Amino acid sequence: MIITQDDRMMGSAHLSEDESRVVIIDQTQLPNRTVTLELGTAQEIYDAIKVLAVRGAPAIGICAGYGMYVLARQKAELPMADFQESMHKDGEYLISSRPTAVNLSWAVKRMLALLDANTEKTVPEVVELLHDECIAIHNEDIEMCYRISEYGLSLVKDGDGILTHCNAGPLATSKYGTAIGPMLLGKERGINFHVFSDETRPLLQGARLTSYELEKAGVDVTLICDNMASLVMKNGWVQACFVGCDRIAANGDFANKIGTSGVAILAKHYGIPFYTLGPTSTIDMNCPTGADIKIEQRDPEEIKNMWYKEPMALPEVKCYNPAFDVTDHELLTAIVTDRGIVYPPFDVNLKKLFE
């Protein structure tokens, strides 16, 4: 697959022309404004990930990969030992911005491992290697998304209704995306689906991003509130559920946007196949089960105030605002990866993917 800068620019993060900054689309402004941000410091990259200006597991990995390179360039005059120490410090800092999606630490550790393996070279030489590595991380994600989309497409047929939760499209990844990749690839091939996009409380990724991406691509999409999924399924309008993932444990349990496990339980009740689609970089074989996944807790303001003209709860009211939940592997029909479709038993078959 030949991948160009134009392909890379279709995702949510890429390098600026002079390669001194990471350029992202500020996803907090969509769908009303398309604003790009240029990130040049560790603090700016950390903040962009923290406030979800760049979000989606693969996208924050890609952004962090580029970020590590941009920061490395600025330290090219340092002696190797200082360079290495400073890069590790920046890496830890970026990883601490969001704990759940494994792709963030995966990308940072991949960049640092390359550095650590090449300390006999000069710093400028290592910076050059890091340049190629961050591009490789992005290119690999584009390829993985394409393959995931192909595999996902094989699970559904023209005219099917598909329900999705949160946003796992190009904004969250690179070209095509994961969970909505089959819908976009299908559209290119004249295969049409009726997509139901959960709005995804409290940050509305489904409303602001998924319905935006699908509508722009000409895919038939209907936006629903999260609590309407059961009715839509009961009406017989959904033939499959496709969702993304932030971390897949070795036994097949997986973390994804809060509300995903509820969709899985509903799908089981109505006998609808339920799939998670994600790149192998989202599978964490060092994480035995879903109970070992750290779940990010977010500011109560997102529930009480964020989208309203005035607060929707008294200031003293307590709020519980986990960003993700874990879906039990028993609710999962299959995991669609770039290396193929993985069916139960997941503990055995996920291991085989890496053999």
Which residue's beta carbon is nearest to the bound ligand MRU? 244
CA distance 68 to 46: 11
| Smallest separation (angstroms) from ligand MRU to the CB of 30 | 12
Angle value at C-alpha 221, between 147 and 329, nearest 5 degrees: 50
| Smallest separation (angstroms) from ligand MRU to the CB of 178 | 4
What tokens does 323 get?
């960003």
Residue 349's identity, in one-letter code, is N
Residue of 158, 322, 183, 162 whose CA lies nearest to 246:
322
CB of 206 closer than 8 Å to CB of 223 = yes
| Smallest separation (angstroms) from ligand MRU to the CB of 94 | 15
Active-site residue numbers? 246
Based on CB atoms, which residue is closest to ligand MRU, 84 or 173? 173
| Smallest separation (angstroms) from ligand MRU to the CB of 103 | 8
Q: What does each C-alpha distance from 131 to 10, 14, 57 come to in angstroms?
A: 19, 12, 21
CA dihedral 153, 154, 157, 162 (to 10 degrees): -50
| Smallest separation (angstroms) from ligand MRU to the CB of 55 | 4
Sign of CA dihedral 195, 257, 354, 99: positive
Q: What does each C-alpha distance from 59 to 81, 107, 210 come to in angstroms?
A: 30, 10, 15
Q: Which residues neighbour 196 within 8 Å (Cβ) at sequence distance 6 or greater?
A: 161, 162, 163, 164, 221, 222, 224, 229, 232, 237, 238
Based on CB atoms, which residue is closest to ligand MRU, 126 or 181? 181
Pairing of strands 324-327, 254-257: antiparallel
CB of 43 closer than 8 Å to CB of 74 = no
| Smallest separation (angstroms) from ligand MRU to the CB of 74 | 27
What tokens does 345 get?
């038993």
CB of 250 closer than 8 Å to CB of 285 = yes
**Binding region for ligand MRU (CB under 6 A):** 52, 55-58, 101, 166, 168, 172-173, 178, 205, 244-246, 256-257, 323
